[in-house]
């Protein structure tokens, strides 16, 4: 039986998507050829790329608003530097909410001045900084909407008078936002969209072409836009699987419906974390809790071995916390059914019973 997969990334994808993808590896589009052995310039694959881009924009409500979608390679990590390469002339602002923001800041510093407007580093990133104002006149302001490692998520995005850039790797397509507030959104596919190997970039075209430096072709958003993500050979399989996931999302009622499911899953798990005396949440304020990645620990490490044996026996996978946080992290991406969350909650309750019996 399929495991209950709480892995943080790469992570769970819809079963129907995996099945379709596996068939396409053998025979794609009735061509009697594999998806991964045909030209990326064939009509069949160009359709895949176009459909993926259209679906991404459609799900974000950004069609016909001056935005384009790209499927590039190099992961979200390459976007840390591409954003700065393409947009940072003098000074950019960053909100530091975790390891990924910190890495983005490090890359940006190679290209210009960086103003870290606020940071929660002092408290090991267990909250989202709130009391800050973004200065005016920045080249752009960058934030990370969901902090995959620490389990925090931004709910209120600041007002800015410059382009707003967001790393949405781990919560894209998970909730409804006014995405037109953002000028560039990027997301590595492997958290909520597809396999590792491609990155979705959604960019408002008019913010580009303003820096004075020469940008190498492979790092230039304008080059990729002019070639519709086909400047070089795209990651054909990850793009195809992303397309299937975006189609699945549509069948499931789109982002709005997904948000409802994600709210239910998160409420189920967090209420158990709060109720069960054996556990405590990692995040300082409830309003900063991520609906995608719930971080928590045992109050007493003494029960670790028992709990680990129990959840493993229940068919749960990928519950270990990141090394910088410890404890546990339950990643509840779009494709994770609420039944899996219920299994985890059941195991937490069984542990409580067991501990009470011993006492
Ligand atoms: C996983 C992750 C990254 C890094 O993605 P790669 O594709 O491995 O480069 C960046 N930002 C966030 C928020 C992530 O969750």
* 3-state DSSP assignment of residue 261: helix
How do residues 95-116 score in pLDDT, each as one tens digit? 999 999 999 999 999 999 999 9
- Ligand 1 binding pocket includes 195 (Cβ within 6 Å): no
Give the tokens for residue 89.
Answer: 């002339």
From 76, 142, 166, the mutation candidate for ligand 1 (largest count of ligand atoms within 8 A of CB) is: 76
Q: According to the 3-state scheme, what is the secondary structure of 279-312? A: EEECCCCHHHECCCEEEEEECCHHHHHHHHHHHH
| Residue at token pair 């589009």 | 29
- Alpha-carbon gap, residue 319 to 332, rounded angstroms: 11
Averaged pLDDT for residues 50-69: 98
pLDDT at 242: 98
Q: Given the structure tokens 């994600």, which residue do they identify?
A: 262
**Ligand 1 atom with the shortest distance to the CA of 75:** 7
Tell me what percent of the residues of the chain surpass a pLDDT of 70: 100
The whole-number pLDDT of residue 150 equals 98
75 CA to centre of ligand 1 in angstroms: 7
Give the active site residue among 96, 139, 183, 191.
191
**Would the CB of 169 count as within 6 Å of ligand 1?**
yes
Neighbours of 110 (CB within 10 A): 12
Q: From the CB of 75, is ligand 1 less than 6 Å away? A: yes
Q: Is the CB of 148 under 6 A from ligand 1?
A: yes
Of the pLDDT bands very low, low, confident and very high (cuts 50, 70, 90), residue 342 is very high
CA of 33 to the centre of ligand 1 (A): 33
Residue 285's pLDDT is: 96
Residue 172's Cβ-side half-sphere holds a number of Cα atoms within 13 Å equal to 32
For residue 1, the model assigns a pLDDT of: 84
Note if 43 is an active site residue.
no
| Residue 317, pLDDT above cutoff 80 | yes
Q: Is the full-model pTM beyond 0.95?
A: yes
Question: What's the confidence (pLDDT) of residue 7?
Answer: 98
The reply to whether ligand 1 has any atom less than 6 angstroms from the CB of 265 is no
Whether residue 359 is predicted with pLDDT greater than 80 in this model: the reply is no
- Mean pLDDT calculated for residue range 191-211: 97
Nearest CA to ligand 1 atom 8: 75
Ligand 1 binding pocket includes 192 (Cβ within 6 Å)? no
Quote helix, strand, coil % in the chain, to nearest 5: 40, 15, 40
Cβ–ligand 1 contact at 97 (below 6 Å): no
Quick one: which of 64, 177, 153, 250 has its CA closest to 185?
177
248 annotated active-site: no
Q: Tell me what the mean pLDDT of segment 120-130 comes to.
A: 97
The answer on pLDDT for 358 being more than 90 is no
Q: Whose CA is nearest to atom 2 of ligand 1?
A: 169
Segments in 137-253 forming alpha helices (H): 221-226, 236-251
Query: Is 167 one of the annotated active-site residues of the chain?
Result: yes
The residue-averaged pLDDT of 177-206 equals 98
Q: Please compute the mean of the pLDDT values over residues 220-230 and round it to a whole number.
A: 98
Does 306 have pLDDT greater than 90?
yes
Task: Report the atom number in ligand 1 closest to the C-alpha of 79.
Answer: 9
* Ligand 1 pocket check for 76: Cβ under 6 Å: yes
Nearest CA to ligand 1 atom 13: 169
Instruction: Walk me through the domains of the chain, giving residue ranges and CATH numbers.
Output: 15-251 (3.40.640.10), 254-358 (3.90.1150.10)
């Amino acid at each position: 039986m399929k495991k209950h997969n709480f892995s943080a990334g790469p992570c769970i994808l819809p079963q129907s998507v995996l099945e379709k993808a596996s068939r396409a590896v053998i025979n794609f589009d009735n061509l009697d050829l594999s998806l991964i052995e045909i030209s990326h310039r064939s009509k069949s694959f160009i359709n895949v790329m176009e459909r993926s881009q259209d679906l991404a924009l459609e799900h974000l409500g950004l069609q016909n608003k001056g935005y384009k979608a790209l499927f590039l390679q190099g992961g979200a990590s390459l976007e840390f530097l591409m954003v700065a390469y393409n947009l940072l002339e003098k000074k950019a602002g960053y909100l530091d909410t975790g390891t990924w923001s910190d890495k983005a800041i490090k890359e940006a510093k190679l290209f210009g001045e960086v103003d870290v407007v606020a940071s929660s580093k002092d408290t090991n990133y267990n909250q989202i900084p709130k009391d800050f104002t973004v200065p005016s006149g920045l080249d752009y302001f960058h934030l990370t909407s969901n902090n995959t490692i620490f389990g925090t998520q931004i709910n209120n995005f600041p007002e800015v008078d410059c382009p707003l850039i967001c790393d949405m790797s781990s919560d894209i397509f998970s909730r409804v936002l006014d995405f037109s507030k953002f000028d560039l959104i990027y997301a590595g596919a492997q958290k909520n969209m597809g396999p590792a190997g491609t990155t979705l970039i959604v960019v408002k075209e008019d913010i580009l072409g303003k820096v004075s430096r020469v940008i190498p072709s492979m790092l230039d958003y304008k080059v990729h836009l002019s070639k519709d993500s086909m400047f070089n050979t795209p990651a054909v399989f990850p793009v195809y699987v992303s397309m299937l996931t975006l189609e699945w999302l549509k069948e499931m009622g789109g982002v709005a419906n997904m948000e409802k499911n994600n709210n239910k899953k998160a409420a189920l798990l967090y209420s158990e974390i709060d109720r069960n005396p054996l556990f405590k949440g990692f995040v300082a304020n409830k309003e900063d809790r991520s609906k995608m990645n719930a971080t928590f620990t045992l109050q007493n490490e003494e029960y670790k071995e028992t709990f680990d044996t129990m959840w493993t026996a229940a068919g749960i996978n990928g519950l270990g916390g990141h090394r910088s946080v410890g404890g546990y992290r339950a990643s509840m991406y779009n494709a994770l059914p609420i039944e899996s969350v219920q299994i985890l909650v059941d195991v937490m309750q069984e542990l409580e019973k067991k501990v009470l019996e011993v006492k």
